[in-house]
Copies of this chain bind each other. A is one copy, B any other.
Amino acid sequence: MARVHNYYAGPAALPVEVLEAVREELIEWAGTGMSVMETSHRSPEYDAVHNETIADFKELMGMGDDWKILFLQGGASLQFAMVPMNLLGEGRSADYIQTGVWSRKALKEAKIIGNVCVAGSTEQDGVFFRIPKQDELDLDPNAVYCHVTSNNTIFGTQWRQFPDTGGVPIVSDMSSDILSRKLDVSRFGIIYAGAQKNLGPSGVTVVAIRDDMIEKCNDGLLTLLSYKTHVDKNSLFNTPPTFSIYLVGKVLKWLKGKGGVDGIEKENAEKAKLIYGTIEGNPDFFSTPIEPESRSHMNFVFRLPTEDLEKKFIAEGKEAGFIGLKGHRSVGGCRISAYNVNGLDSVKDVVALMKDFAAKNG
């Protein structure tokens, strides 16, 4: 069969050029006579991949020498615990802004560890259909950090403008929109992302941490849960997920070939315009509960007139080669997860599918 239009929320599509390159060298890689999966993480060949991936990530993010890049395991979910373990403690407090399921999970772990304040929340009856405005936030100027989830895969919202924290470093889970748009990294202290949406396969979490945050990290922690362990050893304290990191490296090269973050941000904006335009252009058929200024450019959440029509749309989409159009099980409806890899051409096709379905069933 042919490749499908993969709109899963994550693990998500990878560039076919990347997969082809991986296939080419899967059994004999880089003149080593073995797969990259089989080489020692202490070999010079792997070392080159590791360090080039760090360099490319920093270049794409616009990060200078004051940032360290770590390749950890456990997904964003483990970062929900590691951030407060490393940074909270006696006399310290952190702000958490609540915009969805993931920020709630991050808050839950932080509460187990130390003092936290909810500096804002848009929860209404268990759902979060918007990002808070600046004047809705009650930010602590002395917080050690302010935690936000940059993009919410489940509800389809995104911080289009990050909050003004008055110099308090933002710590952000960017699992679902990392490297999808330009960022003023000077406002952030830690940025972390599970790879499986915009960076590569599942199994590696990229953590970027600024030097002044490393200095604030607690000592005496469990070894593997201490950022300092991984900074000191360049993520080689123990065996890292080498194949996943190698793949992230290839995805970053692909992104550079697409014009980097500038190029992809423009394409993502065009994709968003097409999809939201289709929803708004067919107001009797499509609707989205998300406020316009909170709408994600990654996850497009929408409803059809009835649940039966939603089921039919998802089924017919699948039949036509569009996979993953079902909304998250907790909110229902439909969702298109169009990350960096889901290109404009594919989005034109899915929009055509939407229009066609609306015309036939409206």
Instruction: Spell out A's residues near B (CB within 8 Å).
Output: 1-4, 6, 8-14, 16, 19-20, 22-23, 26-28, 31-35, 37-41, 43, 73-78, 80-81, 85, 105, 108-109, 112-113, 194, 196, 201-204, 220-225, 237-244, 247, 321, 323-324
Extra A-B contacts (17), CB below 8 Å, given A3-B28, A19-B26, A33-B323: A2-B33, A4-B33, A6-B33, A32-B323, A40-B324, A73-B75, A74-B78, A75-B238, A77-B223, A77-B238, A81-B222, A81-B223, A109-B222, A112-B220, A194-B239, A202-B243, A203-B241
Evaluate contact between A39 and B19: CB separation under 8 angstroms: no
CB distance from A6 to the nearest CB of B (A): 5
Chain B: which residue is nearest A9 at the CB level?
A: B40
With contacts A34-B3, A108-B223, A241-B203 taken as known, whether A40 is within 8 angstroms of B11 at the C-beta atoms is yes
Evaluate contact between B1 and A112: CB separation under 8 angstroms: no
CB distance from A84 to the nearest CB of B (A): 9
Evaluate contact between A11 and B222: CB separation under 8 angstroms: no
State the oligomeric state as a number of copies: 2
Closest 6 CB pairs of A and B: A203-B241, A4-B33, A73-B73, A37-B201, A77-B238, A81-B222
CB distance from A151 to the nearest CB of B (A): 16
Evaluate contact between B37 and A14: CB separation under 8 angstroms: yes
The distance in angstroms between the C-alpha atoms of A21 and B333, with both chains bound, is 37
CB distance from A112 to the nearest CB of B (A): 6
Q: Which of B1, B8, B204 contacts A38 (CB 8 A)?
A: B8
With contacts A204-B203, A224-B78 taken as known, whether A37 is within 8 angstroms of B23 at the C-beta atoms is no
Residues in B neighbouring A22, C-beta threshold 8 A: 26
Residues in B neighbouring A81, C-beta threshold 8 A: 222-225
With contacts A9-B40, A202-B241, A240-B202 taken as known, whether A74 is within 8 angstroms of B73 at the C-beta atoms is yes
The distance in angstroms between the C-alpha atoms of A324 and B38, with both chains bound, is 11
The distance in angstroms between the C-alpha atoms of A6 and B35, with both chains bound, is 10
Evaluate contact between B321 and A33: CB separation under 8 angstroms: yes
Residues in B neighbouring A1, C-beta threshold 8 A: 28, 31, 33
The distance in angstroms between the C-alpha atoms of A241 and B33, with both chains bound, is 25
